[in-house]
Copies of this chain bind each other. A is one copy, B any other.
Amino acid sequence: MHFTEPLPLRSGKLLHEYTLTYETYGTLNADRSNAVLVCHALNASHHVAGTYEGQAKSEGWWDNLIGPGKPLDTDQFFVIGVNNLGSCFGSTGPMQTDASTGAAYGADFPVVTVEDWVDSQARLLDRLGINQLAAVLGGSLGGMQALSWSLQYPTRLRHCVAVATAPNLSAQNIAFNKVARRAIVTDPDFHGGHFYAQGVLPRRGLRVARMIGHITYLSDDAMEAKFGRDMKAAEPAYSTQDVEFEIESYLRHQGDKFSDYFDANTYLLITRALDYFDPARHFGGDLSATFARAVCKFQLVSFSTDWRFSPERSREIVKALLDNKLDVSYAEIDAPHGHDAFLLDDARYHGVLRACFDNIARELAHTSAQVGRLATSTAAGSSSRDIELIAQMVPTGSRVLDLGCGNGELLAHLRQHRLCTGYGVELNDANLLTCVKRGVNVIQLNLEDGLATFADQSFDVVLQLDTMQHLRNTERMLTETARVGRTGIVSFPNFAHWPNRLSVVRGRMPVTKALPYEWYDTPNLRVGTFADFEQLARKLSLKVLDAYGIQNGAPIRNWPNLRASVAVFSFERRGSQGRLGKR
């Protein structure tokens, strides 16, 4: 699509006219609400899904994710793939002719930023008559565009799905980009970026750049598994320049292939756009202040072995979203492939995105999540009746953080019956997926790492049900709970319940309904009694608001230390003004 209104760029320059190449998949619905924009990363294009007729290698770059019946289902959604400005795949870029000079732009193509791309994409949507997107989806640099959409056009998207991305590049990321660019610009065939006129291509530089990139896309382990130290020949040739190892051959092949189809100036532009992306820069680096503008819902995904955009970087974004009380779910997929994982099939990853887009589709159809169809098994030690008892302690309309939320049953219950909002924290992949399917906000974090992600007094109630005893850092978790929430509620197995006492008197560790594990393989790393907790609460300056036991689903208020298998405490920080039920 051709645009003749000039596009003002962040650099202060104007792009007087330009073309955006795009593809669409599926059908735009009547109220134009089911459009999903897919943003591409470094070397991809508008061709995100499907296969061009008659062309062998024309499969869309995200075809495993996007299509009829796939996680982003084009039977449900109208998917738009757009090629970014500065690219070499159709949209206006350095290889194309600058109308004002009649020559190829080359190195004179203006530097474009992630924000410029998003502006240009917004204009395309204007033309397509799409006011609000159901979602923007992107991975890596595409994820940066998705994030930027939520900041530049907050009300024009309902969901932001950002995979394997970061709020900005780290020093190491910039360093790799720098080296790649140096390799290109010092190639004598680069001619200061005006090589088209010379009839040459700076292939050597592009090859080196691509080789560096490829190393950073793969995890160390994945590269080792694929290539190891395999050699081309049985014996080394003892040469400094021959290709001796398979990994050398692979990199060389990747470099050669890339230098055949990619443009050097585009490579410089795109890596620079990556370098410059830093929406928090104008907020003194404060990412939470940056996201104050955002209103959409977020789904973030990272991969454990991605050392280019590590999970830590996604967690920074999660924290900023939480600080702004935005809806967010976050999955940290334990995949071996490194950064490349975002393009690969992984059942857990695709499962989370499928659940996410299913929810968006239902939201569009104004139907609620499939709660009824979900399994409702609960964690060992707590029953549905226990959950109902504890739910009654949570004031209507509370903002709740459920630490160790399991399959999200309690959060869903609180949302439905007590109009609560909030988040669960869960480590287990299957539980996480169930939460996403329920439409419950869930953050995949290890509670042993603490609650630094959550701001002071940012919740009315923080729940730690059947969770505390699984964690080593008991004291820290309790003080953190009281820091993050106005009220904390914990439940845990009471070791002083009389059958347990009896077992110990007989010289054996107990195995009961509330303590169903053998001493040597229990997830319970902390074993305490109702009475022990009272003393710990005093030590930690926690003011106990209520305390009782639960036995067979019934509250026990007389002699709970003896008579109840489960202990329940609600508490707040001593000197705190908040009270349960008063806000």
Report A's interface with B, CB cutoff 8 A: 10-13, 107, 110-111, 113, 168-172, 174-176, 178-179, 181-183, 185-188, 204, 207-208, 211-212, 214-215, 218, 220, 223-224, 226-229, 236, 238-241, 244-245, 247-248, 251-252, 255, 265, 268-269, 271-272, 275-276, 278, 307, 310, 472, 474-475, 495-496, 500-501, 504-505, 507-509, 518-521, 525-532, 536, 561-562
Contact = CB atoms under 8 A, between A and B. Distances in A.
A271 B170 CA distance: 27
Contacts of A528: 509, 519-520
B525 A509 contact: no
A525 B473 CA distance: 12
A239 B393 CA distance: 59
A541 B507 CA distance: 22
Contacts of A278: 229
Given A181-B240, A495-B504, A215 B172 contact: yes
Nearest to A188: B188
A92 to B, nearest CB: 17
A247 B178 contact: yes
A268 B247 contact: no
A115 to B, nearest CB: 12
A359 B223 CA distance: 41
A514 to B, nearest CB: 15
A181 B519 CA distance: 57
A529 B500 CA distance: 14
A227 to B, nearest CB: 4
A110 B237 CA distance: 12
A208 B181 contact: no
A169 B519 CA distance: 44
A186 B204 contact: yes
B229 A175 contact: no
A245 B26 CA distance: 43
A208 B182 contact: yes
B229 A179 contact: no
A178 B211 contact: yes
A216 to B, nearest CB: 10
Q: Which of A176, A247, A275 has the most CB of B within 10 A?
A: A247
20 contacts: A113-B238, A168-B229, A171-B228, A171-B245, A171-B247, A172-B220, A175-B215, A175-B247, A178-B245, A179-B212, A179-B215, A186-B187, A240-B271, A241-B268, A495-B504, A501-B504, A501-B507, A504-B529, A507-B561, A508-B532
B532 A519 contact: yes
A495 B509 contact: yes
Contacts of A251: 175, 178-179
Contacts of A228: 170-171
Contact of A239 (B111, B212, B236): B111
Contact of A223 (B175, B229, B472): B175
A285 B74 CA distance: 50
Please list the 4 inter-chain residue pairs (A to B) with the smallest Cβ-Cβ separation, ordered nearest first. Answer: A11-B238, A474-B520, A240-B268, A186-B204
Contact of A241 (B181, B212, B236, B519): B181
A570 B472 CA distance: 29
Q: Which of A171, A175, A244, A269 has the most CB of B within 10 A?
A: A171
A536 B251 CA distance: 53
A236 to B, nearest CB: 6
Contacts of A529: 504, 507-509
A452 B395 CA distance: 52
B562 A185 contact: no
Nearest to A109: B240
A223 B170 contact: yes
Contacts of A530: 507
